[in-house]
Amino acid sequence: MSEQKNIMEYETVALDDRGPAVVILDQTKLPGSVELIRLTSAQEIWDAIYYLKVRGAPAIGVAAAFGIYVLAEGIRTEDYDAFLEEFRKQKRYLDSARPTAVNLSWALERMEQIVLQNPGKSVKEIRTLLRQEAVAIRDEDIRVCRAIGEYGLTLVKPGDGILTHCNAGQLATVKYGTATAPIYLGQERGYHFRVFADETRPLLQGARLTAYELQASGVDVTLICDNMSATVMKNGWVNAVFVGCDRVAANGDAANKIGTSAVAAVAAHYGVPVYVCAPTSTIDRNTESGDGIRIEQRPAEEVTEMWYRERMAPEGVKVFNPAFDVTDHSLIAGIVTEYGIARAPYTESLQRIFEQKGSHPLT
């Protein structure tokens, strides 16, 4: 379909009850064209997650929740045990799409708990409850991102320069984004931030997505190559780095798009604070450190051929293409959550964040 409105007016992930189906904005086509696609089968949903048609940890979680509900509607049995068995089969399949982003398994686990907690209800009633839970996950994402934005905004001042890596914007969530939430709230309040967006090799999420959505929102954004971050920091143009993440370990180590750890190391050298914007759903307290985070390996073609008219590397050359790297907690000035900002030592501050979450749920 041709673009007829601002990209920010589109829903990244939505549920179409006619069918039903998951409707996503195909991010592999941006910024060249805006296309909405309907996903109805397990294969289509899995492919959309794996091939990055929907991406960003929060958006993946919402897509997974909507997706497993859609698949549950297609389970043709009224027997609870048979329904549960097929539901778990579909859950395991979707969960295999991408291993690093914890929101995928987190959302699917929440959906499974709906089934497990209602063995006395009819399958029809369970399907209704699954839909309600999926919508709740979507709505929570909006509230969470706005709260992250409010806390993040306390870390910067009007006119500051902000650098971000990859895309942790609205296109990676339902609304506001995580790392961009302070930027969007600041934009609404006249802060006039100057944003530097790393292009983010090899998939160019910063160039194709972050620069695209920030520009569409009227933000003063400058696109830079990944290897230019040191220069803009040395020039004094960057006052803070905001990045998202796909999984935070209990000690504060954070897995984010490949190249984030390099940005953090450079920022430490120039005295620029790095803030990781992480919904509590992205914090994995069962993983002690970044050493326990499984890093997804992507196809070599993303480095050698994608985005080029002709192949830009010799045939047969070996390629190492990890999708993420882990930034050591010592390089992180703060982890911004919807319940406040965690500071080192993170094993203690993240525990307090979850205590706050337990006693005062976000509404």
Q: What is the CATH number of the domain that holds 222?
A: 3.40.50.10470
Mark whether 48 and 137 lie in a shared domain: yes
pLDDT at 73 over 60: yes
* Cβ proximity of 259 and 219 under 8 Å: no
Range from 101-105, 115-119, 203-207, 302-306 carrying the lowest mean pLDDT: 101-105
Q: How confident is the model at residue 1 (pLDDT cuts 50, 70, 90)?
A: very low
Interval 254-289: pLDDT, tens: 999 999 999 999 999 999 999 999 999 999 999 999
Mark whether 57 and 166 lie in a shared domain: no
Residue 1 within any structural domain of the chain:
no
- pLDDT at residue 19, as a whole number: 87
- pLDDT at residue 280, as a whole number: 96
Helix ranges (H only) for 162-208 are 181-188, 205
pLDDT at 321 over 90: yes
Phi-psi label, residue 76: left if phi above 0, alpha if psi -120 to 50, beta otherwise: beta
Mark whether 241 and 224 lie in a shared domain: yes
Measured CA to CA in angstroms, residue 90 lies from 35, 104, 106, 278, 332 at distances of 26, 13, 15, 27, 37
Mark whether 216 and 319 lie in a shared domain: yes
Q: How confident is the model at residue 363 (pLDDT cuts 50, 70, 90)?
A: low
Burial class (CB in 10 A: 0-12, 13-18, 19+), 26: middle
Domain boundary among 82, 110, 144: 144
- pLDDT at residue 161, as a whole number: 98
* Cβ proximity of 280 and 189 under 8 Å: no
Residue 287 within any structural domain of the chain:
yes
Residue 205 within any structural domain of the chain:
yes
**What own/partner pairs with CB < 8 Å and gap ≥ 24 does 35-38 have?**
35/1, 36/1, 36/10
pLDDT at 47 over 70: yes
Count structural domains, the chain. Answer: 2
Question: Quick one: average pLDDT of 302-308?
Answer: 94
Give me the CATH number covering residue 64: 1.20.120.420
What torsion do the CA atoms of 194, 224, 51, 284 make, to the nearest 10 degrees?
-60
Residue 2 within any structural domain of the chain:
no
Range from 76-85, 92-101, 115-124, 248-257 carrying the lowest mean pLDDT: 92-101
Q: What is the mean pLDDT of the chain?
A: 96
- Range(s) of the domain holding residue 83: 7-144
For 318, phi then psi, to 5°, come to: -70, 145
Mark whether 175 and 50 lie in a shared domain: no
pTM, full prediction: 0.93
Query: How much of the chain exceeds pLDDT 90, in percent?
Result: 95
Residue 319 within any structural domain of the chain:
yes
- pLDDT at residue 230, as a whole number: 98
Q: How confident is the model at residue 103 (pLDDT cuts 50, 70, 90)?
A: very high
Mark whether 244 and 281 lie in a shared domain: yes
Domain boundary among 144, 174, 196: 144
pLDDT at 248 over 80: yes
Interval 158-188: pLDDT, tens: 999 999 999 999 999 999 999 999 999 999 9
Domain boundary among 119, 144, 169: 144
Partnered with residue 277 across adjacent β-strands are 336
Mark whether 114 and 179 lie in a shared domain: no
Phi-psi label, residue 159: left if phi above 0, alpha if psi -120 to 50, beta otherwise: left
Mark whether 122 and 220 lie in a shared domain: no
Mark whether 138 and 154 lie in a shared domain: no
Question: Quick one: average pLDDT of 132-146?
Answer: 97
Local structure of 151: helix, strand or coil: helix
Question: Quick one: average pLDDT of 134-157?
Answer: 97
Mark whether 224 and 332 lie in a shared domain: yes
Mark whether 51 and 94 lie in a shared domain: yes
Catalytic residue among 95, 141, 198, 246: 246
Neighbours of 300 (CB within 10 A): 15
Local structure of 231: helix, strand or coil: helix
Q: Does 328 participate in catalysis according to the annotation?
A: no
- pLDDT at residue 54, as a whole number: 97
Local structure of 348: helix, strand or coil: helix
- pLDDT at residue 79, as a whole number: 98
pLDDT at 3 over 70: no
Mark whether 165 and 235 lie in a shared domain: yes
- pLDDT at residue 361, as a whole number: 79
Q: How confident is the model at residue 97 (pLDDT cuts 50, 70, 90)?
A: very high
Higher pLDDT pick, 299 / 18: 299
Question: Quick one: average pLDDT of 54-76?
Answer: 97
Residue 248 within any structural domain of the chain:
yes
